[in-house]
Amino acid sequence: MLLVLVASFIGSFGAVFLKMGAAHLKKGFWHILNVQLALGAGLFLLSSVFFVLGIRHGELSVLYPMVSLGYVWTLVWSRLFFNEPLTRQKFVGLGLVLVGVCFVGLGS
Amino acid sequence: MSEAQGSTMTAGFEARDSARTRRQGVALVFGCTILGAAAQILMKTGANHLVHPGVAGMIANLPLLGGYALYGLSTLLLVLALRDGELSLLYPVIALTYVWVTVLSFVIFHDRVNPFKIAGIVTIVIGVAVLGRGGER
């Protein structure tokens, strides 16, 4: 369970680096080769390793909701690092997604 | 044109523009989740057919390689979406992957579907629809 939690945390930082790296693309497509994007992709890979190790033992009904905690971390980082506005629309949408993932987990 | 009029027009344009950017971003992540789900299915197929464990066996395994390639493509779409879109808005849309994987597992592997899974994928779809809706900020 801890492994999956760590995976969600690492994955959310992966998303932050992808967002940082994506900004380089505004200068042209071939700016896609940059350190932040490489770091982001690397963190995604690392997070998937933790995830696979985590789901070997454990109930998916508990683990799926923990994975989706990554969405919550990402919401916090978006506010902290990119100053994105937190609107009611985002809270409602994210809330529904979280409930949905919990249900899928319960059914698995 | 007075300055006040000018700024109102700019504000109107920006609102329209942001609604369009948002739809574009959500559409890109939508594509990203379809590719991601296909990648997971391919990797599962590949893992089922893994006769020779180890690196050599993995390289010779076409479904597994295809799965990794699709994952790469799906990440590329995510990056393109994030170029103009907001991370806080687009990242939860990735949960659509659960929807496609559930549907594809049912179709391909004949995995069981139950009321929980159906309620879950319907709720996720509604959540994504809320995130993708234009207009109100």
Average pLDDT, chain A: 89
Contact B92 A15 (CB under 8 A): no
> What's the DSSP call for residue B107?
I
For residue A106, give the nearest of B113, B116, B122 by CB distance. B116
Residue B17: predicted pLDDT? 60
Higher pLDDT, A33 or B123: B123
For residue A26, give the nearest of B83, B130, B137 by CB distance. B83
Query: Using a CB-CB distance cutoff of 8 angstroms, which residues of chain A are in contact with residue B116?
Result: 103-104, 106-107
Residue B53: predicted pLDDT? 67
Residue A76: predicted pLDDT? 94
Distance CA B130, CA B108 (A): 30
Q: What is the mean pLDDT of residues A38-67?
A: 84
Distance CA B37, CA B26 (A): 16
Residue A53: predicted pLDDT? 83
Residue B1: predicted pLDDT? 43
Contact A89 B133 (CB under 8 A): yes
pTM recorded for the entire structure = 0.83
Contact A16 B92 (CB under 8 A): no
Distance CA A10, CA A4 (A): 10
Cβ within 8 Å of residue A93, ≥6 positions away? B89, B92, B127, B128, B130, B131
Q: What percent of chain A has pLDDT over 90?
A: 58
Residues of chain B with pLDDT below 50 are 1-10, 136-137
Query: Using a CB-CB distance cutoff of 8 angstroms, which residues of chain A are in contact with residue B86?
Result: 78, 82, 84
Contact A21 B79 (CB under 8 A): yes
Tokens 């004949």 identify what position?
B110
Q: What is the mean pLDDT of residues A44-50?
A: 89
Model confidence over A59-101: pLDDT tens digits?
777 888 888 889 999 999 999 999 999 999 999 999 999 999 9
